[in-house]
Amino acid sequence: MVALAIKASECINESDKLYVRFNDLSADDVLTELEQISEISTDRNLAKSNTSCKTDIVNQNICTKHYVEVLSVLGCKYNKSNHKEDLCLPYQQLGFTLILRFPQDDQVVAGSISLLALIAKDARVRKRIKYQTEDYGINRPIAVLKNVLERAKEEEDEIKEALLAETLRKGFLFIGAICNDGEDIGLPSIIVSEGGLELILETADWFRLNVDISNWALWAIFILCYDNLPIKAELIRSQGIQIICRLLENNPISLEVNRHGIALLFDLMRENHEEDKILWNPWEMRKIAISSGLHNRIFSAMNEFADSIDIMVMGQEILVGTGFRGNIPKYREI
């Protein structure tokens, strides 16, 4: 009987063990715990000596490991919950609290951004970001993600770099998800004003060989730009067309990268934009795109994904509308 119990315990994976261990822990419990730890740390700092430094480092490592584990379990609880709406606001508070408390800890930041991405579509979460900027302003996660990118650029360890890249990918999910809703409360413009578009473009260009980064960067950019001419103009000023073409060039066999990239280019080159304050010249966009290798990128994608109706229809219109000379690939149903 004991042998069977031992065998059964060995079959439980690490995530299941963590779930059992922290199953009764809520986001509110963790926030209370953080407040208590903050008070203890303040008291300790008042009487701190040099001999306590090593102990503090060990305690800090134990503390951050604890929160990484808790964040993982809370994410699992959210996915399994039938009452997700009850979890969103406490999760948002916890995510923002942790990135403020541990902005340089890669694993805590990764877990916190992941948690925020899960709840991003909730209307109350979005309104907090819009109206309660002191506590939930989008500038905080964007600033943290910018630091993640800077650490990624300097990281030589491939495993650590992969963790940082995944954190940035989840950041794009978070940014895109809070804007991908029928109710327009102006979040895309706020994100761009806080450097969100700049962050996405810089990350995508740095990690242009990373398929997942490229895919979700293009998706997030499309969400930000959708039906928003000022943001499209900012994208152009930020060398966005050139970066999009580079992502297509470096990910030629990724269906999703090509689909999102071509959709973005297609949308940028449409002529039915009307806004008095923005002078929009689609022909200028087309010249920039052509000089960035547009025709080669679209032609290659249409040959590679001839069975994708989206790529073929948009690709054909782009090639025809930009004066392509040659035989345009035809749709081939498989």
Q: What are the tens digits of pLDDT across the range 104-163?
A: 999 999 999 999 999 999 999 999 999 999 999 999 999 999 999 999 999 999 999 999
Identify residue 182 by its one-letter amino acid code.
G
Q: What are the tens digits of pLDDT across the range 82-103?
A: 999 999 999 999 999 999 999 9
Q: Give the domain ranges of the chain.
A: 13-20+67-226, 228-334
Are the beta carbons of 236 and 194 closer than 8 angstroms? no
292, burial (CB in 10 Å: exposed 0-12, middle 13-18, buried 19+): buried
pTM of the full predicted structure?
0.86
Taking CA atoms, 5 is separated from 16, 20, 213, in Å, by 16, 16, 43
